[in-house]
Homo-oligomer: A and B are copies of this chain.
Amino acid sequence: MNSVNLIGRWTRDPEMRFTQNGKALTKVSIAVNRTFGEGADFFEVVIWGKIAENTAQYTKKGSKVGIEGRLQQETWEKDGQKRSKVVIVAERVEFLDNKNSQSNPNNEIDGFQAIDDDDDIPF
């Protein structure tokens, strides 16, 4: 079991690219406010596939989002040193800014996005 749920705001615009095998990959950072209003924690978020595309397209720095995902340890080498950090792999991203509820009455982009990209999800 490895499950994470967060609500927060992007601290910068989501950056999307395609990997060599053609899969969309978005990286972004989230600010999660602490319970009693004293500051925030900042985490790195990694998103794959169709929701990576949707997130890059429909959200930006400051957007409020809800995330369902899991924790992952990323490891790499730098100067012969093993380094590692914890990131959140988002499996669902819910867009929580209802600014567009006027202009988007059907709420099509508000709500969870599908996990996968290699398929058919209407979006």
Contacts and interface: CB of A to CB of B under 8 A. Distances in A.
Interface of A: 1-7, 32-37, 41-43, 64, 66-68, 71-73, 84-86, 88, 91-92, 94, 96-98, 107-108, 111-112, 114-116, 119-123
Contact of A111 (B37, B72, B96): B37
A1 B112 contact: yes
A120 to B, nearest CB: 8
A73 to B, nearest CB: 4
Contacts of A68: 1, 3, 5
In this complex, the member of A33, A42, A84, A107 whose beta carbon has the largest number of chain B beta carbons within 10 angstroms is A33
A3 to B, nearest CB: 4
A122 B115 contact: yes
